[in-house]
Amino acid sequence: MPAERLDKILAHHGFGTRKDVKRLCHKGLVFLNGKIATDPAVKVDIGSDTLVIDGKKITLQHDLYIMLNKCRDVVCANRDGEHQTVFDLLDESLKHKFLGGDLHCMGRLDIDTEGLLILTTDGKLTHSLLSPKTHVPKTYGVGLRDALSEEEKLRYAETFSKGFWIDREQNEDGFNCAPAVLKWREKDGKFTLEGENPALYEAVEKNSSGKSDCLLTIFEGKFHQVKRMFAQMGNQVVYLKRVKMGELSLDPQLEPGSYRELSEAEIALLKQRQTD
């Protein structure tokens, strides 16, 4: 990881402007690897150096990766005059500018959609995973207004597997939907998920009250795509929860509205899909 100037690091960690940091250094309150650091321009290795300010150890972090279990009635925006935002759910300690950039949503979920949302400062990773050429799969638990016969379920699955035309909605143009994978809940109430992490099934069931009739995996991210796909079939989505993005599944232990930082292994799962 590249080294950063001491004054830049401390400014990003809430210690004021670079002039403020300079004063801290001159007062002898800044210790780098156990030694007083008087030069605010000295380079600090984020990955290995130790930084203590006025007796308090500072956690050095270039980028932040958060998994949030988004709840309903919360919007994916920095500010909203009417609704609570996903950033309102975060602790104040996370609401500062990081070295890697501003904390932002990796994609968006509608106000009535629940589930897996990644918040990160890693703009390069976000741009890569949201690029149309990357085709990152996203899996949703879907609850439908109308119950379907077994024959109708087969028709839906076959239509989705081939891709089909989606009509225009509001100001959004119609488009040819790419092939998608649709799996219905079995008669025993379970999903058949061969080769999947058991956490995926747990994430679908947790707090859903059995609302998910099927699992849909899409490989693009058009406006209201899942809702429009089922509307095109003459049905209506009444419950929607994202449970997987790429190889990363929602942690079933996360209650709605709660969050945690991703582990190194989980970050690696996301970066598997990263393009140059």
Catalytic annotation, residues: 110
83 CB-near residues (< 8 Å, 6+ apart): 73, 74, 75, 111
Q: Rg (Cα) of the chain, in Å, rounded?
A: 23
What single-letter amino acid sits at 54? D
Please provide residue 162's backbone torsions phi and psi, each rounded to the nearest 5 degrees.
Answer: -95, -20
Whole-angstrom distance, CA of residue 166 vs CA of residue 164: 7
Copy the structure tokens of residue 42. Answer: 């000295």
Whole-angstrom distance, CA of residue 136 vs CA of residue 220: 7
Copy the structure tokens of residue 45. Answer: 């290795």
Closest C-alpha to 73, from 105, 104, 113, 106? 113
Q: What is the pairing mode between strands 214-218 and 138-144?
A: antiparallel
What single-letter amino acid sits at 68? L
Closest C-alpha to 72, from 217, 249, 247, 241? 241
Whole-angstrom distance, CA of residue 133 vs CA of residue 271: 15
Helix (H) or strand (E) holding 204: helix 198-205
Copy the structure tokens of residue 53. Answer: 């300010």
Copy the structure tokens of residue 129. Answer: 């995973």
Whole-angstrom distance, CA of residue 28 vs CA of residue 4: 20
